[in-house]
Amino acid sequence: MANKALFKSIVGRLAPAATATNHAGASAYAYGPRHQLAQLAVTGSLGRTFYAEPEAQLEAALKLAHEVEPAFLARTAVYARKRGHMKDLPALLLAALSGMQGTEFVRAFPQVVDNGRMLCNFVQIMRSGVTGRKSLGTRPKKLVQAWLDAASDHQILNAAVGQAPSLADVIKMVHPRPASPQRAALFGWLIGRPYDVAAAPEIVRAFEAFKKDPVGDVPDVPFQMLTSLPLTGEQWAGVGRKAGWHMLRMNLNTFARHGAFEVEGFADFVAERLRDAHAIRRAKVFPYQLMAAYAATGKDVPAVVREALQDAMEAAVSNVPTVAGNVVVCPDVSGSMSSSVTGYRPGATSAVRCIDVAALVAAALLRANRSARVMPFEWDVVEIDLNPRDSVLTNAAKLAGVGGGGTNCSAPVERLAVEKAKVDLLVFVSDNESWAHGRRGPGTALMQSFRKLKAINPGLKMVCVDIQPYGATQAIESEDILNVGGFSDAVFEMIGHFADGTLGPDHWVGDIEKIEL
């Protein structure tokens, strides 16, 4: 008779057979349609990544949109917008939903189209024909008209910048019926047609007067409407005092170049605004955007403002969980992680790379869990000395400065197994395109190494944070393994819920299904 104890132990160590081949040509586990759609929605920006072209992302998104039920499609679009802070993919999914039967489109629309830029994104995608039609259609047209009717003058003005399409183009397409002479004058002014000047909103009249004689206080109009006007340093400071949080973050060098920081009190004002935790949450800021702003600030930006960006980073990652037990964080620093996190887009490519995001997640988790062990990897584990008392930005910069080479996700776990290390939570941040480990059996090398470490630590859990939209993972979803996509601060919340056992058995997809339409 066969040795039952022997075969029972072998079965326990065997990794599930791989179900896919990743873009690097190695074994992987394919996500199901729901998880794949969700992962694409919160990491895809329809830009060229290290392994995929934008056309492939678009084709995959539209295919998956028709493989899931409309309710889940709607919830994914809302989740990607509200929790993932994404723009293009939520608008695309909403456009795909517009052609389906049911009420999901109408219920999801106001949650996805939450500002004028998203309105224009949605219209652009609808008119492109990628979802099967080049006209808006009755339901979408009515919802766009309703948004224009309900928006305040300030919201309309904020939406009036940008092209392809501009808000003026949208107004010409849908022909809204103004509910008042003031709104009729505003629409006429936006589309360049004759309008009743006396009926126009006060801000429009003030702006037109200021253009003729740009002295005194600057009207409270979007920043982009002022760039061609000859403003003084005092006036630029006035613009900054009225600016939104993101506008301040993105234009620190502009204010420095125009002498705004030479105005008494302006630097302190900007610093206080940037570190305002409430404003940070309301702005839906990506933590990596603060990293980019900090790296881009020139020498003329005052030190107090640069320090405020570090404070803002601490606030942006304030929901990083403190996890009981031994935590190991494994950021991928391989060659493929050098690509832009949002993909290459002509004229709009982010300078922030995938490796920067992985480093940021690792540094933030280290700050919240000061006994955590950070094990960056490529072919093998990369040795690095980090001080948990240093700022998140300081440690992230150290991590982002290493790397290159192939991707071997199993390397840190294999080392931990050899060490017989005590580990309660493993957190990977990667593009999941592991290949440098070679073939070692029916499953992936990461799963085999995880099983070895799990035998030493029965309570071990692993979270794999996926930051590129490739549709496969190195670790199959189970009760003790969470795959979650994205690079917003919502990822930290998911890690915390999974670590403390409050995330349901369906994990991430189950969380998306809880979204109320």
Residue 8 above 60 pLDDT? no
What tens digit of pLDDT does each residue of 10-26 get? 434 567 888 888 888 88
Take residue 11 and report the two structure tokens written for it.
């079965």
* Contact (Cβ atoms closer than 8 angstroms) between residue 317 and residue 489: yes
Supply the pTM of this predicted model: 0.87
Query: What average pLDDT does this structure show over 249-270?
Result: 95
- Find, among 460, 377, 467, the residue nearest to 420 by Cα: 460
SS3 for 192-205, per residue?
CCCCCHHHCCHHHH
What is the strand order of the sheet 20-21 is part of?
Answer: 20-21, 27-30, 472-473
Q: What residues contact 486, with CB distance under 8 A and at least 6 apart? A: 42, 43, 83, 84, 465, 467
Q: Assess whether pLDDT exceeds 80 at residue 323.
A: yes
Q: How many C-beta atoms lie closer than 10 Å to residue 59's C-beta?
A: 12
DSSP 162-191: --SS-HHHHHHHH----SSHHHHHHHHHHT
Residue 209: phi, psi to the nearest 5?
A: -70, -40
pLDDT on residue 403? 75
Question: In the predicted model, is pLDDT for residue 3 greater than 90?
Answer: no
**365: CB partners within 8 A, 6+ apart:** 320, 327, 329, 372, 427, 492, 495
Cα separations in angstroms, 352 against 126, 204, 310 = 30, 37, 17
> What is the distance between the alpha carbons of residues 375 and 416, in angstroms, rounded to a whole number?
10
Residue 436 reports pLDDT greater than 80: no
Structure tokens given for 136: 């808006």
What are the tokens at 157? 């003005």
Contact 407, 50 (CB under 8 A): no
Model confidence over 369-393: pLDDT tens digits?
999 999 999 999 999 999 998 988 8
pLDDT of residue 346: 66
What confidence score (pLDDT) does residue 150 get?
A: 92
* Burial of 13: CB neighbours in 10 Å, binned 0-12, 13-18, 19+: exposed
SS3 40: helix
3-state secondary structure of 233: helix
DSSP for 104-145? HHHHHHHHH--SHHHHHHHHHHHHHTTTS-SS--HHHHHHHH
The owner of tokens 């003790």 is 480
- Least Cα distance to 297 among 283, 276, 312, 282 occurs for 312
Contact 372, 439 (CB under 8 A): no
The predicted pLDDT at position 11 comes to 39
Pairing of β 27-30 and β 20-21: antiparallel
Question: Rounded to 5 degrees, what are φ and ψ at 32?
Answer: -70, 165
Structure letter (DSSP) for residue 235: H
Q: Which one-letter amino acid corresponds to residue 349? A: T
Average pLDDT over residues 175-185: 93
Integer Cα distance of 132 and 116 in angstroms: 24
Q: How high is the pLDDT of residue 10?
A: 44
Distance separating alpha carbons of residues 175 and 512, to the nearest angstrom: 36
Q: Which two tokens stand for residue 6?
A: 């022997």
Mean pLDDT of 487-512: 88
Tell me: pLDDT of 433 over 80.
yes
Confidence at residue 101, expressed as pLDDT on a 0 to 100 scale: 92
Strand partners, 28: 20
Among 49-53, 293-297, 487-491, the range scoring the smallest mean pLDDT is 49-53
**Per-residue confidence (pLDDT) for residue 438, from 0 to 100:** 63
pLDDT of residue 460: 97
What are the angstrom distances between the C-alpha of 287 and each of 52, 199, 245, 317?
25, 43, 14, 7
SS3 per-residue string spanning 293-317: HHHHCCCCCCHHHHHHHHHHHHHHC
Q: Identify the structural domains of the chain with CATH numbers, from first to last.
A: 4-28+323-513 (3.40.50.410), 35-199 (no CATH), 227-316 (no CATH)
pLDDT confidence of residue 378: 94
Report, as an integer, the average pLDDT of 253-281: 94
| pLDDT attached to residue 6 | 41
pLDDT of 479 above 70 = yes
Instruction: Tell me what pLDDT residue 340 has.
Output: 84
The pLDDT of residue 9? 46
Q: Tens of pLDDT along 138-179?
A: 999 999 999 999 999 989 988 888 777 889 999 999 999 999
% of the chain beyond a pLDDT of 90: 60
Q: How far apart are the C-alpha atoms of 194 and 196, rounded to whole Å? A: 7
Residue 150 corresponds to which tokens in the numbers above? 């309900």
pLDDT digits 0-9 by tens, 451-466: 999 999 999 999 999 9
Q: Is the pLDDT of residue 314 over 50?
A: yes
| Per-residue pLDDT band at 7 (split at 50, 70, 90) | very low
> Does residue 184 register a pLDDT over 90?
yes
Q: What CA–CA distance (Å, rounded) separates 495 from 503?
A: 9
